[in-house]
Structure 1
């Protein structure tokens, strides 16, 4: 739901457990805002001239030869084109780059959940459908604010997100792209803050002056 729009700032609220995809022009910036704190946000970007081309965690790992990204880093696609720049981070700076998006089967396989469970994969697919954009796949997301750590034993461990209320990550589009997020609906393990309750987030978008989204 769009809350506010003016020449300087466009604010979009994303409800808990739901997703949103927006078109960005090269030069636009977007802040992914953790309104209440503790909320994990699955994050993707797709080239507008070829939606099958996506922001790739694996390629970006190799680009910087590390598992985590820092402000100033470029994020590239599976075709090695720069799609986003990581501009600013006011959170503790821990953002998982390894875990795939949750899907309906994952809640059954890992947690024994019966019946349908909201999930980030379907949230992304639904946003492609809503915008009438051809859907190809669910890439590994950049899981903003998700504190999955790799221990010395190489085991992975999920921790509750410690990101505080109002903290954000700022990204800049380096090509015309579709930018998508999902306020992760995981409520069967405690990753969304200390209480494990999914909450709403916001996108704060600053558009490049004089450019229209097409």
Structure 2
């Protein structure tokens, strides 16, 4: 395995900067990310979207085809340095995967969202970092490759915000089984077409989603083909 160490060391200069661009930057759901309640929005394959929620509102994220992983983040509207954190969240729920009713904690150890519904078999991931350009370099990609870290950065920029860093996401429907020897595998989702989760905002927050662009290993289904997701915001 070889690395372009100069590229890794210099791209990007700050964690808020993307390493490249795609359609995410030019296609926010609205200029400030404010949704029309009840309207269904698309997160296109390989892209990201960001949406503002007020405390008490619920976002339904839909695995339209059943095979797509959705990297999901939440940031406090009032302070982007407070965000959903799985280093803190796993300690609170005493587990690796949240269940319905579980609070999703911020890095200041207070609930930022609550998982209120899940029609899927409940297999999600809280261990893996968002894919980024450097991940694809380790997989042999030599040019730019769409990635979840940049989709977060671009989705936030599209609504006039800048993230201070790329936290560990909640990887909805990502199937990373852990065996008795504490080894992991990269497996296809076990979700079904139309499965959804619902997350209730416990504070004013911005939710960002990436329709994961991974097309080299089968975390987006055996065909390794990223597809679109959808979401709705409800009062």
Tell me if TM exceeds 0.5. Answer: yes
Aligned to 1:137: 165
- Which has a greater percent of strand? 1
Task: Give the conservation status (yes or no) of the 8 Å contact 2:130–2:169.
Answer: yes
Q: Note if contact 1:161-1:194 (Cα within 8 Å) is conserved in structure 2.
A: no
Q: Distance in 2 between matches of 1:97 and 1:164?
A: 20
Query: Counterpart in 2 of 1:118?
Result: 146
Match for residue 200 of structure 1? 228
Aligned with 2:87: secondary structure? helix
The aligned counterpart of 2:128 is 99
Q: Which residue of 2 aligns with 1:211?
A: none
Matched residues in 1 for 2:132 and 2:36: separation? 37
Question: Over the residues paired in the alignment, what is the CA RMSD in angstroms?
Answer: 1.5
Task: Give the Cα–Cα distance (whole angstroms) in 1 for the partners of residues 59 and 162 of structure 2.
Answer: 23
Paired residues of 2:156 and 2:208 also in contact (CA < 8 A): no
Structure 1 residue 39 and structure 2 residue 68: aligned? yes
Q: Choose from 193, 198, 212 the match for 1:184.
A: 212
- 1:134 CA displacement: 2.9
> Structure 1 length normalisation: TM-score?
0.92
Paired with 2:166 and 2:224, the residues of 1 have a C-alpha distance of 24
Structure 1 equivalent of residue 175 of structure 2: 147
* 4+ residue segments displaced more than 4 Å: none
Alpha-carbon distance between aligned partners in 2 of 1:84 and 1:63, rounded to the nearest angstrom: 13
CA contact (8 A) 1:27 1:172 kept: yes
Q: Does structure 1 retain, via aligned residues, the 8 Å contact 2:152–2:209?
A: yes
